Amino acid sequence: MTGVRTFCMDDVLAVYIGRMLPSTGDESNTRERLTSLFRVVSHLSGRPVTTRGFRMMLDPAAEELRKQHPFLLELDPPVPVDEDNPGPSYNDELMAWVRSVEQGHGVRVDVRSNPEAFSHVTLADEMDLGLPGFIVLAADGGS
């Protein structure tokens, strides 16, 4: 899970903006898209990503992508008027933005694994269930 791996630009952009891109409505397509986002974050972090830990990993993943690909800083992704219900016009606008980025930078992008960028996200953080009195102990090999 280390080294450089090539990913689809739309998956990298989705991780960068922290939003899953619209799917065709087909359930298998939605699962594929989500799995692709997990693959990008998992590769960046150099470790498997749990469902609970995925949201915690998005900010450091976006930061690492900015460091590796400075052109991301120049991009201006569309923002939905209503976060809870972006609607079809926003989805169209978002996909047009993705296509324009792909035209300018390609449909594939190399991503280098950098586990150090995620060292502050611990197993205990990933497993935090938000339950009062629930503590996760992570074995660290220490005494």
For the chain, give the mean pLDDT. 83
Backbone angles phi and psi of 134, in degrees to 5: -90, 120
Backbone angles phi and psi of 109, in degrees to 5: -145, 135
Distance CA 129, CA 141 (A): 24
Q: What is the pLDDT of residue 133?
A: 45
SS (H, E, C) 49-95: CCHHHHHHHHHHHHHHHHHHCHHHHHCCCCCCCCCCCCHHHHHHHHH
Tell me the CA distances in angstroms from 92 to 4, 41, 103, one per residue in order: 31, 25, 16
Give per-residue pLDDT as tens, 84-107. 777 788 889 999 999 999 999 999
Give per-residue pLDDT as tens, 24-50. 666 677 888 889 999 999 999 998 888
